[in-house]
Amino acid sequence: MDPKKRVEELVKIIEKYNYEYHVLDKPSISDQEYDRLIGELIELESNYPELKVKNSPTERVGGVILEGFDKVSHEVPMLSLANAFNEEELKSFDEKIYKDIVFNNQYITELKIDGLAVSLEYKAGQFLTAATRGDGLVGENITNNVKTIKTIPMSLSEKIDITVRGEIFMSNASFKKANSIREQKGEQLFANPRNAAAGTIRQLDSKVVAQRNLDCFMYQIVKPEDYNLMNHSDSLSYLKKLGFKVNNEFEVHKDIESVINYVSKWTLNRNNLQYEIDGVVVKVDEYRYYELLGRTAKSPKWAIAYKFPAEEVITKLTSIDFQVGRTGNITPVANLEPVRVAGTVVRRATLHNEDYIIDRDIREGDYVVVRKAGDIIPEIVKAIVDRRESDLEKFEMIINCPKCESKLVRGEDEADYFCLNEICPARKVEGLIHFASRQAMNIDGLGEKLVEQLYSEEIIKTIPDIYALKKKAYELLELERMGAKSINNLLEAVEESKKQSLEKLIFGMGIKHVGSKVSLILAKEFKSMDNLMNATYEELISIDEVGDVIANSVVDYFKDNDNLNIVTELQLLGLNTEYISRINRKQIFEGMTFVITGTLSKSRDYYKNLIIESGGKVTNSISKKTSYVLVGENPGSKYQKALDLSVEMLNENGFVHLLK
């Protein structure tokens, strides 16, 4: 057969089988036959590169590696939704709609998938680009990564120009598999499927994305009137017709009571799904009302997102362990009979500190209420005293370190107990983990499990040992799951970390009370590690945002000869100990105060550093003296306070313009 015709035929038939398998869940051929067809197409494309079409099915396996993501402007902003947290707030939403318009139409409800929003653009029915939500106005180009998601069609059933939006997510099964692989590699586990999906879609290597098996539900057509669509339920049907995967659990309702029943149903049944949801989206179904109802600065008035309350479950607290942190702080941790909370199995939960346990009278052997704080960190809410056995002993805090047996000390104004033994092995390991972490020296591949393994094998015992790893390549090869490639990548990451700016090194050293923000302030002020080591208490206390506790902590740290020796060793090993200004600009924010609120496309520390490096300050509370509020998605009460005080607000795009 003519190779050109065969390539065209294979592309068409493989896309058909992809749709059957991934969207309809009704495959008509075996996996072996599908693999044979893919193999044939790969071979033809290798032999005749000129025949490879733009959106070939072979691109689903990834392979493109980018240096970064380009910015993409959204022609129509990707708005976030206002939130409702109870039945009364849903009824209030309904009352406002009836107050604003003559409304006798219907609502439509959809499950709120716990993932990340994406916008897809098609030209003549062919996939063109994909972008993240970003700040709603400007997102990032993730086209190559989206091509690996098999539920997103590369060509539509109609040759139309269209922009559609949806939610990329990771199923529970894929999440479990991804974490299993990371655990085997000694890498830090993903906290939940949403974090896993968000981290995956922003991978620079699309082959990694392909391996993690992301999924996507589409739920919106931009400018639906261009396709003669009158309501949202018709749009969902049209999306399915075009070949998109649509979540089938949507329902149309005649009144708010029916909506509330739908919400109640999924509040109870959310854990029966194969993917995570964090609420229900409620919309007016008919589009003609949208313009009449209008929108606020950040969200439409014709839709609202009901957020599920934090899930609480009951299980038994079998025992209490004590973890030692890098600064010696002791944290009580509950060991639990395994229980599923918010989509994942929980076996351990934080108990915070002695006061927290005693105030709630939590005891070993109690049945306790567990929830995930922010749907991420498991914590004990309370003990169920009615189910307590009579002979359970009250909690008593340990008096010696569980690792080195040193006597624990509780500071006068501290909630925590501390192990003051500088050579405590648990403190050493936690300190090494912290030094290599992303916010500190960002040594890719040197995760918690590997640090523990290297410490136990006595390959690294101190921070300078990390930079001597290249001399121990043969010892690394003898370790389990450490091949030549992973070792080479690790050593390259170690060398690259030597170039980090001074603030990263200061934070990595783990000086008590000195976080990432203060580290940057100190780096800017003193410019070099030598200057900081010689700084006096008076010099430190004179710096804005450096108080008595921090100043004393820094002075005490550099009085210790062991700490001074570590710094000297690191200098000899070639680490940069000078401040590197990432932004060469005037202090344009001199005298300005910023407050940051809501979820942003980059970390809050990123924006804090930009503001501080440009001469400004960042505070937690809004007042009439606040210059600007940088607002992300779901900003909460600070947004309303800024409105009340008439403080100017910026989204991320506006902030960038101000910075320029």
Q: Which residues are catalytic?
A: 112
Q: Dihedral sign, CA of 337, 343, 349, 355?
A: negative
Distances (CA, A) of 433 to 223, 326, 376, 454: 49, 9, 21, 11
Tokens of 252: 């149309």
- 8 Å CB contact between 289 and 232: no
Listed residue (384, 382, 360, 361) closest to 370, CA to CA: 382
- 8 Å CB contact between 110 and 250: yes
Distances (CA, A) of 425 to 422, 431, 460, 484, 519: 9, 10, 12, 29, 25
Amino acid at 658: L
Cα–Cα dist 141/458, whole Å: 44
**Residue 85 phi/psi, 5° resolution?**
-120, 0
Tokens of 14: 């493989």
- 8 Å CB contact between 559 and 583: no
Distances (CA, A) of 357 to 351, 368, 418: 7, 12, 17
Q: Are strands 277-284 and 116-123 parallel, antiparallel or unpaired?
A: unpaired
Cα–Cα dist 565/441, whole Å: 19
Cα–Cα dist 332/544, whole Å: 35
